[in-house]
Amino acid sequence: MTDLRSQLQGLWLPLVTPFRDGELDQASLRRLAGHYAAGPVDGLILAATSGEGMTLGMADLERVVAVVRDGIADSGRPLPVCLGLSGAGTSKIQDALDETADWPIDGYLIASPYYTRPSQRGLLQHFTALADHAAWPIVLYNIPYRTAVNLDNETLLRLAEHRNIVGLKDCGADRARSIDLLRQRPKGFRVLTGEDAHYYEALSDGADGAILLSAHIDTAGFAAVLTQLREGNRDAALARWESLSELTSLLFAEPSPAPAKYWLARTGLIARADVRLPMLEVSPELAARLDAEIARRTAGSSCAA
């Protein structure tokens, strides 16, 4: 385990959860973890939105963490891991924090309560109670178009002062609000964008990094955008981003993570593209588009070689 506050930057991957016939595909999951741990990613998020965490029971979650840790060990490169948790009731999430307190993780990614739509005062008390209770540091997850409630900057800035709240996955989809938060946040509080389509602009605005589903596919390309911006080479970063932006659109053309899973299965990183209901596998129309892009990229790689 690592110091999450210092590690929460750069390119993080919200790892998909492979299934086979409705069950966790442990062999594919271990292969995935080892593959990405050996590449240019700075951390993994498990069982969040991209990992279909809402469909996973506690036994599944524990097995996912254990298998991913084995895969990381195979790579020989230490990598921090955060576990995604969500729910509508504070006490239920506290129970999950208790149950996972001795698991080999480095922290939690916790979304705002869904459906209940609490006030800002309620959100403040909710996350404060969780942070007081948690054995590991917490990264807040603000994604109002899924939870129907938005963490205002005033609330976020108060939560950012808590010693056990170390950062934010920002999916607020409001660039001006994000820039204001980056300007006012306390020292050491990390902000990573979770909006794949806004990756370049978020980094340009001062975000510390990103948590991107699309980075499952061209991990090196997404990492290069970040590296080039850090080195001050904005033209190269923008050119690289423009070559990636259409990929992000394709991977979100239907509900995620089905398109990414299809791509990973077609390229052999996972055995099957299975998802759990209420998610469905990609339509034949999108499958054809994905196949065409895979073929195009494969041909390009062959020509480059």
The residue extents of the domains of the chain are: 4-242
**Looking at 36, 108, 141, 199, which residue is catalytic?**
141
Q: Is 36 a catalytic residue?
A: no
Mean pLDDT (whole number) for 134-151:
95
Mean pLDDT, the chain, whole residue set: 95
Q: Is the pLDDT of residue 179 over 70?
A: yes
**Looking at 36, 169, 200, 261, which residue is catalytic?**
169
Residue found under tokens 């899924």: 146
Q: What is d(CA 19, CA 15) in angstroms, rounded to the nearest whole number? A: 13
* DSSP secondary structure letter of residue 140: E
pLDDT for residue 25? 98
Among residues 184, 182, 178, 183, which one has the least CA distance to residue 198? 178
Among residues 294, 239, 231, which one has the least CA distance to residue 262? 294
Give the C-alpha distances (Å, rounded to integers) separating 68 from 15, 109, 131, 219. 10, 16, 25, 18
Mean pLDDT (whole number) for 228-246:
96
As to burial, measured by CB atoms within 10 angstroms (0-12 exposed, 13-18 middle, 19+ buried), residue 304 is exposed
- How do residues 251-268 score in pLDDT, each as one tens digit? 999 999 999 999 999 999
- How do residues 32-78 score in pLDDT, each as one tens digit? 999 999 999 999 999 999 999 999 999 999 999 999 999 999 999 99
Q: Is the pLDDT of residue 134 over 80?
A: yes
Q: What is d(CA 112, CA 279) in angstroms, rounded to the nearest whole number? A: 21
Pairing verdict, β 23-24 and 209-211: unpaired
> In the chain, what's the furthest Cα-to-Cα distance?
57
pLDDT for residue 302? 52
- Superfamily name with CATH number, domain 4-242: Aldolase class I (3.20.20.70)
Q: What is d(CA 75, CA 38) in angstroms, rounded to the nearest whole number? A: 5
pLDDT for residue 173? 84
Q: Is 199 a catalytic residue?
A: no
CA distance between the termini of the chain: 39
- Name the E strands within 143-185: 165-170
